[in-house]
Chain A
Amino acid sequence: EVQLVESGGGLLKPGGSLRLSCILSGVRYSDAWMSWVRQAPGKGLEWVGRIKSKGSGGTIDYAAPVKGRFTISRDDSKNTLFLQMNSLKTDDTAVYYCAWVEKAPSSMSTWGQGTLVTVSS
């Protein structure tokens, strides 16, 4: 069974930084393309970014609202995906999901449980 477990959410002030982690099990992580998606309270889904496997070039793509502030990375030795979030704004308050992109370019068939990030002064 494919599973994703996220961690790292919390409450912080505008301008702060936070790193989220996501561990994938049940598939060969090194071959996996992974994405982050967020959902603000009471709002719809918003794609944050995607990282391809190293075998597919390791390309990372970001949504415009987070480009330059957020960084997606991976540690294949630990089956772990990361989302480093800097210069956080109140608009970044959301539940953040990591997801496994099972079918290219972005069909996400397995999602984590989500972790809440609250940015507030």
Chain B
Amino acid sequence: QSVLTQPPSASGTPGQRVTISCSGGSSNIGSNSVDWYQQLPGAAPKLLFYPNNQRPSGVPDRFSGSKSGTSASLAISGLQSDDEADYYCAAWDDNLNGYVFGPGTKVTVL
């Protein structure tokens, strides 16, 4: 059981906006920055945001992240077929003294 929770799946049609939630607690999201990773089938994960919410080069601005209290969310606007992937949230957990990943959300483009 992960200390971070995410919905197992999300879907949308091309052009739609999809939002993925990530819920944690005071020792992780509540006190540390949240990272989001995209993992395309058969590939290594890719970081979508730096802690200050800036995007690494190559990440389109269709991806945006937000955080409030002990929850965070990732939004994908203008959904494209290339966005079909697994998305993971992650954060440092001060109680565990370790980094924790959410279980991942599979995004399907209908």
User: Number of A-B pairs whose CB atoms are under 8 Å?
Assistant: 62
Interface size in chain B (residues, C-beta < 8 A)? 26
Interface centre among A35, A49, A64, A105 (most CB of B within 10 A): A105
A47: contacting residue among B32, B44, B46, B101, CB under 8 A = B101
A28 at interface by CB-CB < 8 Å: no
Q: For the complex, give the distance between the alpha carbons of A108 and B86 in Å.
A: 16
**A61 surroundings in chain B (CB, below 8 A):** 97-98
Given A97-B44, A106-B92, the answer on whether A45 and B101 have CB atoms closer than 8 Å is yes
Map CB proximity to B onto A36-80 as digits: 1 under 8 Å, 0 otherwise: 010000001111011000000000011110000000000000000
The answer to whether A44 touches B96, judged by C-beta atoms less than 8 angstroms apart, is: no
Stretch binding the partner chain, chosen from A11-19, A85-93, A109-117: A109-117
- Known contacts A37-B45, A97-B45; 7 additional CB pairs below 8 A are A35-B99, A45-B37, A47-B101, A61-B97, A102-B47, A105-B33, A108-B37
Chain A residues within 8 Å of B, Cβ to Cβ = 35, 37, 44-47, 49-50, 61-64, 97, 102-103, 105-109, 111-114
**Interface set of B (CB-CB < 8 Å, partner A):** 2, 32-33, 35, 37, 39, 44-47, 50-51, 56, 86, 88, 90, 92, 96-104
